Structure 1
Amino acid sequence: MAKRKICVVTGTRAEYGLLYWLMQGIKKDNELVLQLLVTGMHLSPEFGLTYRDIEEDGFVIDEKIEMLLSSDTSVGIAKSIGLGVIGFAEAFARLKPDILVLFGDRYEILAAAQAAMVAKIPIAHIAGGDTTEGAYDESIRHSITKMSHIHFVTNEAAAKRVRQMGENPSHIYSVGSPGIDQIKRLKLLSRQELEEQLNFHFRVRNLLITFHPVTLDIEPAQQQFRELLNALEELGEDVGIIFTKPNSDNGGRIIIQMIDEYVAAHANAKSYASLGQLRYLSTVAQVDAVVGNSSSGLYEVPSFKKPTINIGDRQKGRLQASSVINCKPIASDIMEAIQLGFVKDCSNAVNPYGDGNSSERILSVLKELPNLEDLVRKHFFEVN
């Protein structure tokens, strides 16, 4: 009996970390074959050439899909999507996967979904059904849901939304977030080890900053980020600041430039194009709060019993733990939220995104799915 070929796509450092244990499970299973397509920021020197981290972890990359133009304008990103569709179409024709696994809501993943849909390759989509009203990721996520055939959602509210979109209820699985799997399984670095690897001296109080452009807001990305920097300025140099740089979204490069300028002028601040999952999660464990608008602040950080300062509308509508503090993208509001985070007791916070066994649940379904060819012909299921 032929082994089932499961093709996984990754385009960002964060997404790779979320897929890591699922990929390991596929790789080690004697009845499955892992096919790995790497694209987007992984292949860009500007974002750290993180495909090398994937190879160092022991994975074989079957295809590198070059699609990322040196532009973060709407025209550049639209062209990147087009290049991605072409590249993925060619890769799928060569690899002939039995099923494609896609995670999330980025435009690189949209390109893969489009190519797979017309190639009649069944798609298993992870983390559909969430809502994030401040970014066009919302529309991309729902579009991928409608092109997909198997849905691995992170919570019951998301499962309900996928059902509302007419998807087959028997093909919707509430598995939790794979990001928690990493927290459960990784042996984190000590503070001393982390200081040595980051070349950063932790202060008495420390913050981890991850801020991405809000692609649907009227205000330019740099205006909101300037408000955040103004708030950090008020904290003084007794607070250590660690920046992780943003994704390749509209307006991302101006934020990178602003981070570089801030770090150059402040001895208490350091920035990194990519920390990788081990160093990122180890940093979360050591800081007093995580500040910004990244989904990680809602998905993973609550498991550390640490506060998240969630700025603006980028994550609006997403399920939140009690440890999340929401604020407007205004310096005074951000400053107030940070001060609250320094004293907030999060010891009773419960992460609403699962128990850290998501990858095992996903792998089990991927192995046991019968008649993959029958999945491609979809029926719209009305919600009564």
Structure 2
Amino acid sequence: MKRKICVITGTRAEYGLLFPLLKKIQQDELFQLQILTTGMHLSPEFGSTYKQIEYDGFTINEKVEILLSADTATGVVKSMGLATIGFADALSRLQPDLIILLGDRFEMLAAAQAALIMQIPIAHIHGGECTFGAYDDAIRHSITKMATWHFTSTESHRKRVIQLGESPGRVFNVGAIGIENIMNMKLMTKDKLFEQLQLDNQLPMFLITYHPETNGETDGVFELLEALENYSNVNLLFTKSNADNGGRGINEAIQQFTLQYRNAKLYDSLGQLKYLSAVKHAEVVIGNSSSGLIEVPYLATPTVNCGMRQEGREQPNSVFNTVLDTEKIYRTIEKAKKFNQEYDRIFGDGQVSEKIITLLHGLTSFSIKKEFYDL
């Protein structure tokens, strides 16, 4: 009998990273793929991106609605409560042998705690990382303690998961899963991309994604936008902030900015192909997304990392950090534009999904039982 593996996804970015692994599970003779969508995927405000999952040929087995319209911490906490209730019902119906969770978002914490109590083992991807500027940092480590198997992106992250008390025999350094798409996906030409996104082909382009600093004192978006006012001769391509508390306020500020500047455009979601193509053809990637530190260097584009959200994460040499100050953001952008060194590639070789499938094949049983490993 095939083992049922349930992959839970709540955002466009997360699904894009998981795509090659989903394909391999779908095609594997030993596994039955289940997909549970939630969060931003189901929201028209964020592009109803579950439709892309279906367009790509996958069957969505369960949809769990969790998002409220509130842009507050209280709203996020209530969404977590709705998520826990919804996951309990969905997982009871699906009866998976294993769930796969990626990363550190609040809906993944809800999924992990539901799975823990229901004795469904968890395989966690991208544990052991640090991002001090967001509460995602604590969420990530919490999921580590509820998970049975761990697939990390670097050896230092593997060591950190072991430091948290996880047995070395259950922690595997497979590399960053997002690199696989970069290695295998045929990206769009600049002409085709600019035509579809209605950008001026005669001008360079910046790609900007900015999320809330949920452990910070300010969202910083106005300082960033003020710095970008210096670039009237550049296409400013924005993708929406996520559904963390403060994200809707950031999106509203960006929307107002795009109404004032003809060269600025905001998209709910670009999808993986357009996003990676935009990274490739951008002069610089700006904001505070983890993508700027992990995937972007593999496409030989420099990153301007704004603020504290990603503080603590391993960084390649093509990442330029700046505080949330208008003049300093501007100077950092100008510095990043001149980067001409060989790009560091510290997150593996892009063969991640094959490594994970091989490791899952090697498990004699799926169980939540584990010990605490003392160093």
Task: Sort the TM-score into its range (normalised by shorter chain).
Answer: over 0.9
Matches within 5 A, 1:14-93: 14-93=13-92
Q: How many residues align?
A: 375
- 3-state SS of 1:285 partner: helix
Query: Which residue identity is paired with 2:178?
Result: G
Cα deviation for residue 86 of structure 1 reads: 0.8
CA 1:202–1:330 in 2, change beyond 3 Å: closer, same or farther?
farther
Query: Which residue identity is paired with 2:355?
Result: R
1:378 is matched with: 370
Gap regions ≥5 residues in structure 1: none
User: Among residues 284, 295, 298, which one is paired with 1:303 in the alignment?
Assistant: 298
1:225 is matched with: 221
User: Among residues 317, 326, 337, which one is paired with 1:342 in the alignment?
Assistant: 337
Q: Distance in 2 between matches of 1:92 and 1:107?
A: 18
8 A contact 1:10–1:37 mirrored in 2: yes
CA deviations on 1:270-324 (whole Å, 9 max, x unpaired) are 1101000000000011110000000000110000111100011100010111100
User: Among residues 338, 354, 358, which one is paired with 1:360 in the alignment?
Assistant: 354
CA deviations on 1:70-107 (whole Å, 9 max, x unpaired) are 12211110010011111111111111111110000000
Matches within 5 A, 1:158-173: 158-173=157-172
Q: Distance in 2 between matches of 1:204 and 1:69?
A: 39
2:262 is matched with: 267
8 A contact 2:209–2:286 mirrored in 1: yes
Please, what is the CA RMSD of the aligned residues?
A: 0.9
1:250 is matched with: 245
CA deviations on 1:343-369 (whole Å, 9 max, x unpaired) are 1114x1122111111111111112221
8 A contact 1:159–1:174 mirrored in 2: yes
Query: Which residue identity is paired with 1:253?
Result: R
8 A contact 2:165–2:373 mirrored in 1: yes
Matched, 1:281 2:272: no
2:173 is matched with: 174
Query: Which residue identity is paired with 1:360?
Result: E
Percent sequence identity over aligned pairs? 50
2:312 is matched with: 317
8 A contact 2:151–2:172 mirrored in 1: yes
Q: Distance in 2 between matches of 1:202 and 1:280?
A: 17
